[in-house]
Amino acid sequence: MSISINGDEITFSEDLFIVSKTDTKGRITYGNDTFIEISGYEEEELIGAPHNILRHPDMPRAVFKILWDRVQAGDEIFAYVKNRAKDGKFYWVHAYVTPVFEVGSKKIIGYHSVRRSPSREGLKVIEPIYKQMLQAEKTGGMDASLKLLHQILSSQKVSYDKFILTYE
Ligand SMILES: Cc1cc2nc3c(=O)[nH]c(=O)nc-3n(C[C@H](O)[C@H](O)[C@H](O)COP(=O)(O)O)c2cc1C
């Protein structure tokens, strides 16, 4: 179990899981030790903070739109996310985000994310797509970015889920 620093990038071994939970608004309610250590924040700084405290400017907004649409609808989602640690370093994760339901009901009471280290192969595919999406957002906004992603997926004849899981 190890966390390494290579220049500006923080990487972590395959046996580590970064776990966090949020309330329905995306405010952090829990983070495991790995989450706290990699983020570089103190636990007190994270609890109660919006999860976008880790947002990296290289991330297209459209990815978070897809994520929130999914989990608010009660579904789960996988996503590649580039995060920003407190000191400005970045770390890539392969996240699995799910809603948390009230016992015995369909009412969503929060969200839960478990993240693993993504494969380098996956990042080689995802990074250039995110770059293009970010560029599309700068000129044509969220719609242009989502359209671009859908074009890429349909040209490869895969669904979003299948695509994201190909390179786990
Ligand atoms: C359970 C859960 C975990 C999340 N984890 C991250 C994360 O690790 N990094 C991140 O940038 N956003 C994460 N988000 C999304 C943020 O809430 C937020 O939508 C995103 O950072 C974009 O910020 P913005 O909406 O202010 O643009 C998570 C959301 C949920 C519900």
DSSP 133: H
- The confidence band for 168, taking pLDDT boundaries of 50, 70 and 90, is low
User: Which residues share a beta bridge with 5?
Assistant: 10
pLDDT tens digits, residue range 33-80?
999 999 999 999 999 999 999 999 999 999 999 999 999 999 999 999
Atom of ligand 1 nearest to the CA of 97: 1
CB 140 within 8 A of CB 148: no
pLDDT at 33: 98
**pLDDT surpassing 70 at residue 25:** yes
pLDDT at 167: 76
Q: Which domains does the chain have, with CATH numbers?
A: 3-166 (3.30.450.20)
- The confidence band for 137, taking pLDDT boundaries of 50, 70 and 90, is very high
pLDDT tens digits, residue range 86-132?
999 999 999 999 999 999 999 999 999 999 999 999 999 999 999 99
**pLDDT surpassing 90 at residue 1:** no
Q: Which two tokens stand for residue 111?
A: 């969200």
Residue for token pair 């080689």: 124
Cβ(39) – ligand 1 distance below 6 Å:
no
Number of helices (H), then strands (E), in the chain: 5, 7
**pLDDT surpassing 70 at residue 140:** yes
Tell me, in angstroms, the distance from the centre of ligand 1 to residue 121's CA. 24
Q: Distance between CA 167 and CA 4 in Å, rounded?
A: 22
Contacts of 86 (CB under 8 A, 6+ apart): 39, 40, 41, 45
Nearest to 9 by CA among 168, 126, 118, 161: 118
Cβ(26) – ligand 1 distance below 6 Å:
yes
Cβ(61) – ligand 1 distance below 6 Å:
yes
pLDDT at 70: 98
Nearest CA to ligand 1 atom 4: 51
CB 22 within 8 A of CB 110: yes
Nearest CA to ligand 1 atom 11: 55
Tell me, in angstroms, the distance from the centre of ligand 1 to residue 65's CA. 10
